[in-house]
Amino acid sequence: MALIDDALPMLADEPPKPVRSAPARRRTWRSPLRTAAFHVTGSLIALVWFLPILLVLLTSLRTFDDIAANGVGALPEGITAANYPEAWTTAGMGQAMVNSLIITVPTVVLSLLLASAAAYGLSRYRIPFRRTILLVMLAGNLLPVQVILVPLVRIAEALGIYDSLPAVIIAQTAFGLGFYTFVLYGFMRSIPMELQDAASIDGAGVLRTYWQVILPLCRPALAALAALAFTWIFNDLLLAITLLRTDDSFPITAAVLSLLGQYGGQWNLIAAATVIAAIPCVLVFLVFQRSFVGGLALGAVK
Amino acid sequence: MVQVAEERRTRRRRASVPPPVVFALVLIPFTLEVVGVFWPAINGVWLSFLNWNGFSAAEFVGLDNYARMFTDPVFFTALRNTGIWLILFGGISFVGGLAVALLLQSERRGVGIYRSALFLPIVFSLVVTALIWNAIYQPNGILNIVLTNLGLGDWTRLWLGDPSTALYAVIVAALWRQIGYVMILFIAGLKAIDPAMLEAARVDGANWWQRLRYIVLPQLRSVNLVVLSVLIIDALRSFDIVYAMTGGGPFRSTELLSTYMFEAAFTSRQLGYGSALAVVIFLLAVGVIISYLVRAFSESKED
């Protein structure tokens, strides 16, 4: 499960070095004592790290009476799945999950479409000030989001979209564009120009080259960004609670949080809601594992 | 011959002038970002010079909102907490992330499982992280139960309700989610180091510490820059986890500039003061990053 090793060459500018996979690779001999020490340390860290997740899973399977009698941290007396449907209905999680998906999916698609178009233009053509444009876009992503919160509300009100999901979609798209464009620009620059020349000789126009030649070649980068963007946008709280007012429009993060306020002591329900809220991103992570991990490292190695 | 060369030149020139549709491809996203991010940002700076509750007429008050910070004890609490957050959250993520990356960088059996355990929390939202740790810190939660069973009953407390521990309790939760991310950045950086260099140092008799100090760390310089920028921006932006775990309490003991900004702007509806606090967050982010960049730059010139 060498995720990072597998994921990185796929996203790197250069083709993977053949040296690594060469059969002649020297196996370093490790003393059994050091190997044992490595695994003891490794599994200890992994265990400590995994414990909080395990704890919430266990808590979500306990009854309220059990928790009230023995505490949130105790081992379960019995196991029940009843908390899940109850949390789902009391917290209005169905609606919230739908809201989150309505925000997240279009935002990811729209962001990547716009960012890849910008990156395509900037990386393939001599646009005046293209470096400046790229830097300005990236700088926008480095702004602390707090600076734009208050004016965003006013703009959304002026446009008549305050307290509606499109407001969040537009704001999230605008805010993420810089980073996605920057990453895709770097990726597209590694695609040889000759491919484009060949396409244009075959009579493909700008849009056709973008859609049928460049975008398919960017699939690894697009997959990585899509997986990352999904978790970021799905997990956002601040923009959502700023631009949305009514409970019916809340995404899952806000809905789960409000459960804490209303059902303070009922940790069986809160834990079940917490698990439900985490499921979509865990699924995306499992499906896009390699892209996701590779995407996290994007921009770190240049 | 001349004709061919000329033909080639015109073709190149034609290729270098982008067709109009390319401008549209670039300008539509660029405009969206300018309208959706930069225009509000400039607007936010303007709002910071106003006294306004969002309903009645706005009043231009110049730098009054900024002057008010100097007499506002909550601002100083938030500033101090943000400093603590920056140093502890940023510092421990950096050192801890580097340490686990060094430990888990080599490809051997089982290492993937350890790595996965460390970066799994990255997929959770900060709200989910907050709820998980909130359960751990409950008066009858696992932390207090473990302490009692270890005979350390005196140490048990209301971790999130005690002003002296609340901020650190929240930082631990934030670290749990962040370290795996920093680890991945560092592993990516470590993989980019030429193994021949380390091998040469080993042959020359450099021990583990010397190889780390003189080869690995200098080679990681560009990754360090990325990690530190990410950590500074994340630290100053931090909002969700504090808002979800403590809401800035008890008695403002976990108030950060970002949570105070949110409260000022949207709860007390002092849009001008809230905007001024947002500008301070922005200036701090720019200041810390620029001063670090300048240092990193002058250091690299010395070599």
| Model confidence pLDDT, tens digit, residues A133-162 | 888 888 888 788 888 999 999 899 999 999
Q: Which residues of B touch A302 (CB under 8 A)?
A: 222
State the pLDDT at residue B87: 94
How close B41 comes to chain A (CA, Å)?
Answer: 5
Amino acid A11: pLDDT: 45
List B residues 170-189 in contact with A (Cβ-Cβ < 8 A): 176, 180-181, 184-185, 187-189
**Judged by CB atoms within 8 Å, which residues 110-169 of B form the interface with A?**
110-128, 131-136, 138, 140-146
Percent of chain B surpassing pLDDT 90? 44
In chain A, what percentage of residues exceed pLDDT 90?
37
pLDDT of residue B14: 46
Q: Residue A24: what are its φ and ψ, rounded to 5°?
A: -75, 0
Asked if the model's pLDDT at residue B7 lies above 60, the reply is no
Mean pLDDT of A118-129: 88
pLDDT reading at B13 higher than 50: no
| pLDDT average, residue stretch B266-283 | 92
| CA pair distance A232, A230, nearest whole angstrom | 6
pLDDT for B8: 52
pLDDT, one tens digit per residue, over B120-156 is 999 999 999 999 999 899 888 889 888 988 888 788 8
pTM for this prediction: 0.87
Chain B partners within 8 Å of A147 (Cβ):
40-41, 44-45, 275, 278-279, 281-282
> Are the CB atoms for B260 and A126 separated by under 8 Å?
no
Q: What's the complex ipTM? A: 0.85
What per-residue confidence (pLDDT) applies to B16?
Answer: 61
CB atoms B185 and A177 under 8 Å: no
The confidence score (pLDDT) of residue B4 equals 52
Min Cα–Cα distance to chain B from A175, Å: 6
How many whole angstroms from its chain centre is CA B110? 30
* Residues of chain B positioned with their CB less than 8 A from the CB of A206: 19, 21-22, 25
Residue B1 or residue A266, greater confidence: A266
B95/A contact by beta carbon, under 8 A: no
Residue in chain A nearest B284 by alpha carbon: A144
Segment B206-219 shows an average pLDDT of 87
Distance, in Å, from the CA atom of A71 to the CA atom of B139, rounded to the nearest integer, reads 8
pLDDT of residue A98: 94
- Show residues of chain A in contact with B265, CB under 8 Å: 149-150
Quick check: B112 and A3 CB within 8 A? yes
pLDDT greater than 70 at residue B300: no
Q: Cβ of A206 and B107 within 8 Å?
A: no
B222-234: average pLDDT: 86
Best of B11, B175, B184, B292 to mutate (most A CBs within 10 Å, chain A): B184
Non-local (6+) Cβ contacts of A170 within 8 A are A161, B32, B36
- Nearest chain A Cα distance for residue B212, angstroms: 18
Please tell me which of the candidates B110, B127, B176 has its beta carbon nearest to residue A256.
Answer: B127
Answer yes or no: is pLDDT of A51 > 70. Answer: yes
Among candidate residues A157, A139, A161, the one with its CA nearest the CA of residue B271: A157
Nearest CA in chain B to A1: B112
Is it the case that residue B241 has pLDDT exceeding 90?
yes
Question: Mean pLDDT, to the nearest integer, of A225-238?
Answer: 92
For residue A169, is pLDDT > 90? yes
Read off the pLDDT of each residue in A91-115 and give the average, rounded to a whole number.
Answer: 93
User: Quick check: B69 and B276 in contact, CB under 8 A?
Assistant: yes
Instruction: Check: CB of residue A292 under 8 Å from CB of residue A298.
Output: no
Q: Which residue of B has its CA nearest to A73?
A: B142
> Would you place residue A1 in the very low, low, confident or very high pLDDT band (cuts 50, 70, 90)?
very low
Count of Cβ atoms closer than 10 Å to residue A275 Cβ: 22
pLDDT of the residue at B3: 52
* A98-107, A232-241, B12-21: least confident range: B12-21
Q: Which residues of chain A lie closer than 8 angstroms to B136, CB-CB?
A: 52, 55, 72-73
* Chain-chain contact of A146 with B239 (C-beta, under 8 angstroms): yes
Residue B51's DSSP bridge partners are B59
How close are the terminal C-alpha atoms of chain B, in Å?
51
B207/A contact by beta carbon, under 8 A = no
Examine the pLDDT at B6 and tell me if it is beyond 60.
Answer: no
Res A23: pLDDT: 44
Of A1, A117, A257, the CB nearest to B29: A117
Confidence band of B301 (pLDDT split at 50, 70, 90) = low
Indicate if the pLDDT at residue A3 is higher than 80.
no
